[in-house]
Every structure is written in structure tokens, then in C-alpha cells.
Amino acid sequence: MPTPQSNRTLARSFRKTPVFTERLLWKLLRDRRLGGIKFRRQVPVGPYVADFVCFERRRIIEADGPHHDPERDAARDAWLGEQGFRVLRFPNADVQNRTYAVLDVILKALG
């Protein structure tokens, strides 16, 4: 299991070199641009690093690339759920090609 220090280092690394879909989503989520809701990006949450987190609403948004392991994602989502988070996962293709539909799903999930 990763240490808190290694998670912080990993999160910093992810923030410095985001993939295209994460840059795109961050442009739309940062500075309370989506419904006035505060998001943080690449945040350590327990043994994981979440792409985007809204602590106030206990929501995590994940942009999934082609190399995601469904079993590992399920275990991760279960652990995060036990901590009170709801995880929203979007394939990178949806983030790129259906951006506004993805934002609509996020807004609805934020309630």
C-alpha cells in the first residue's frame, strides 16, 4: 500500500503532466466554473489519487484512459464509497467527444 508521502509525490507528478482529457476537464471545473462548486485535481484520498474531488459534495470524478483495470477500479470505488464518496467515471472518449453531456451528468450528480 502506498504511503501518504508517496501519494502526495504521485499527485504532484500527475498535476504537472496531465493527459489531454484531464486538462480539458480541469479547464471546465476549476475556479468554481461548474455550478459554483469547488473541485481540486489529482488529490490523494487514502491509498489512491483521485483525478478530481469535490469534498463538499463528496464526489470524485475519474477520466479513464484505455488501460484501466475494471476489477481494480471496482475495489477502489468500493473503498472510496465506504469513505462516503460517490465516484463518477467517464471514458476519455466521452470526455473528448461528449464534453457537455459529461458536464451535465456531473452537475446532476452534484445535486
Q: Which of 48, 1, 55, 53 is nearest to 22 (CA)?
A: 53
Q: Which grid cell sits at 36? A: 459554483
Query: The domain that contains 93 carries what CATH number?
Result: 3.40.960.10
Q: Could you report the per-residue pLDDT of 2-59, keeping only the tens digit for each?
A: 666 788 888 888 888 888 999 999 999 999 999 999 999 999 999 999 999 999 999 9
Q: Residue 25: give the domain boundaries.
A: 4-110
Structural domains of the chain, count: 1
Q: Could you report the per-residue pLDDT of 73-109, keeping only the tens digit for each?
A: 999 999 999 999 999 999 999 999 999 999 999 999 9
Can you tell me the distance from the alpha carbon of 104 to that of 46, in angstroms, rounded to the nearest whole number?
Answer: 28
